[in-house]
Amino acid sequence: MGRRELKTFRPARRCYFGAGWLIGLVLAVRLRAFLVQLWELALPLGPMLLLGPALALLGVRLAPAVRGHLCRWALGERPWRWWVYALSAAACLRWRGMTLDDALAGSGTVLPAWGNFLALLGAGLLLGVFLLHLLFALRECVPGLARWLLGLRRRDWLTLLGLWLAVNLAVFAYASGSQTLYGWDSAIYWRSTYALAETFRGQGVAAALRQVYESIFTSDYNDTIGLLCVPLALLFGSSRRVYLMSIGNFCLFPLLALLWAFARSRRRPGLWLALAAILGLPSLFYTAVTGFVDIAGVIPAALALMLSLREKGKGRFSRFLLIGVLCALAVVLRRWYAFFALSFFLALAVECLLFRRSAAPVLGYLCGMAFPLLFFLQTFVSQRLLADYAAQYAAYGLGLGVDFRMLFRYYGIWLLLIALALGLWLALGRRERRQGVLLLLEPVVCFLLFVQVQSHGQQHLLLYAPALACLLILGFDRLADCGRLGALAVAAAVAPTAVSPALPRTQGTVIQEYPLFMPLPTFSYAPPVREDAWEVVGLLRRLDEFGAEGKKVGLLSSSFTLNVSLLRYSEDSLGAGRVSDVDRSYLVTLSEVDSRDGVGPALYTCDILAVADPIQLHLGEDEQQAVWAPAYSLLEGETIAGAYRRLEETYTLESDGITIYFFEKVREPTQAEMQALADLVHQTSPDVYVYTG
């Protein structure tokens, strides 16, 4: 750099000096708070504030390189970039709770007023830098997307219309024919959606959006995806059918349209290629119609994977920053998509090491994924995303046998072997070796990471849908080059998996009862009909009578056949009208899983305990002493049973062979009786917390 250039560049160095100091200040206080929230590690604030002058000096020293990077990847040459910084700083000052105060809450990090002001300015600069990077990435992608949309022909729009009609007809038929009961996850999503709709209707948009934002920090079932279902809920009410139609229109259809778009980008018109992939993954439809809004998270995850597959050469920093943002969005929608995001990162690192010989994709991905999560949702990351779920969900570690049964039940061994063969074929070839390696590594790493925490539920299998869909599309596209023989191979690969769910079969509710060897998916497209559904409704209405008398009622039953969640929503599941206007808050939610709940005091707040005989569990005695021990004690007249009187009345679920006994509390259990129950629990589970007064 010449003397004249150096003289011209001195004001820029001063800017980098000041910006580095302010950014270092906000990074120091945020890092200290993060360590306190994550590990309760309270480092002295003074030494950490040295990060400010350190970054200031670094900014001066590396000013030419930083300026060059910003000009290349962050619209650094545009004069209006200063408005982005100014607006970002103004936004941070206006919404300081989101950008600073919430992140420091509970960490003991206290700054004077001028320190808060400077930290907020630093946060604004940091946000401005990120937004300029993101705008650059969008500027690269939007023109290509616009050209692609303009290139769609009438036939393409008719294809999308046909796909939309098919989705709506299929979902409507399933929802209309269903006569079963919903509880736990599928009911929680459903009811939280309509609670959010009521907030929209009664308190306005601002209150509803505040509820969504707060739910990210407080609930594993946050309301972010519920926003998609709110419009139909506001228009047509809270029935299960409306809920499923919402998922079909705003979650399932966009995902299938994305698969069609990716297939069309490989081979025009692409309809048969997209249909082959969609028919090869029938679990997507089944997961949607069983009420799991989690399927919305597959959309940003799959789009991120597709963008990565299309990025050739060494890969652009900006493109992978956008990919990282998409993965961060998936994590916000459901926290367990973090397994996808992490496995994608690890697979991408291997792919870059083997083929790209560049760190730009990895760095771009890290910046895109980490910044929005840490900047806006720091306590979500420290207290929920990085929580010790392996300990919290220890009871759900049911062994690899359950994990493989879940995979085989919903995907089938045949499809998984087809995907493996296609991935190996791509990886061993020359044209798409990089894509094959990435698509093979990502789901395998994701599976290995997930089973370290818990066993899979039905919704968790969506983690593998992006890679499987891309493998099928790329592999079938290659097979199509083989002419008629390739077309026959595609048909042979897809037809068994697509037809199997259409066959009539009885579906069990306990995954351990399924055989390990399931070549094809064993779920059914047929709308479920539960024989004892109205019997459960009758039980709820009988308990309503207790509630009308002002009594608190607890249900000691936690199986897929009968649990309090399924009972609470039984009328709504069947579209049955309520015969009582009693407030259902009389139903007390009792502990169910030892490692998660322990045995809390809620048991002793109940005036009536309804006990199922045989005792109903969904995990086993060693994991559900919170249910088994008090139920056994009451049925056998031990420990706390002396404080209760068994009523003469019983209720029978004849289809299931279950008898419900009612126990009325006549006095408070003594501390000795509560301790006797604790001793009974500890005989099986010594480490479980039990309330003893």
658-665 β-sheet, strand order: 587-588, 553-556, 608-613, 658-665, 644-653
Is pLDDT of 3 > 50?
A: no
Rounded to the nearest angstrom, the gap between the alpha carbon of residue 381 and the centroid of all alpha carbons in its chain is: 14
For residue 306, being part of any structural domain is answered with yes
Same domain, 264 and 352: yes
Of the candidates 313, 331, 311, the residue with the CA atom closest to the CA atom of residue 321? 311
Cα separation of 589 and 556, whole Å?
10
Residues 470, 475, 481, 485, Cα dihedral to 10°? -130
pLDDT tens per residue across span 558-614: 998 999 999 999 998 888 888 888 998 999 999 999 888 889 999 999 999 999 999
Going by DSSP bridges, is the β-strand pair 553-556/587-588 parallel, antiparallel, or unpaired? parallel
For residue 162, being part of any structural domain is answered with yes
Same domain, 145 and 163: no
For residue 463, being part of any structural domain is answered with yes
For residue 193, being part of any structural domain is answered with no
pLDDT in the model for residue 4: 44
Verdict on whether the full-model pTM lies above 0.85: yes
Mean pLDDT of 368-390: 89
Helix (H), strand (E) at residue 643: none
For residue 501, being part of any structural domain is answered with yes
pLDDT tens per residue across span 21-30: 999 999 999 9
Same domain, 159 and 91: no
For residue 524, being part of any structural domain is answered with no
Domain that holds residue 139: 3-149
Residues 6+ apart with CB under 8 A from 186: 290, 291, 292
Residue 506 pLDDT grade (very low, low, confident, very high; cuts 50, 70, 90): confident
Same domain, 65 and 132: yes
H-helix segments, 95-153: 96, 102-104, 113-150
Highest-pLDDT range among 173-187, 226-240, 541-555: 541-555
pLDDT in the model for residue 393: 65
For residue 537, being part of any structural domain is answered with yes
pLDDT in the model for residue 7: 46
Is pLDDT of 675 > 90?
A: yes
Residue 5 pLDDT grade (very low, low, confident, very high; cuts 50, 70, 90): very low
pLDDT in the model for residue 193: 86
Same domain, 357 and 397: yes
Share of the chain above pLDDT 70, in %: 98
> What value does the mean pLDDT of the chain take?
91
Is pLDDT of 8 > 70?
A: no
Could you tell me how many residues make up the chain? 693
pLDDT tens per residue across span 71-99: 888 887 788 888 999 999 999 999 998 88
Q: Per the structure, how many domains does the chain have?
A: 3
DSSP 617: B
Mean pLDDT of 169-193: 89
Same domain, 588 and 675: yes
Integer-rounded Cα radius of gyration of the chain: 28
Strand ranges inside 545-672, DSSP E: 553-556, 587-588, 608-613, 644-653, 658-665
Mean pLDDT of 476-493: 91
The domain boundary, picked from 453, 479, 513, lies at 513
DSSP 599: B
Strand partners, 179: 529
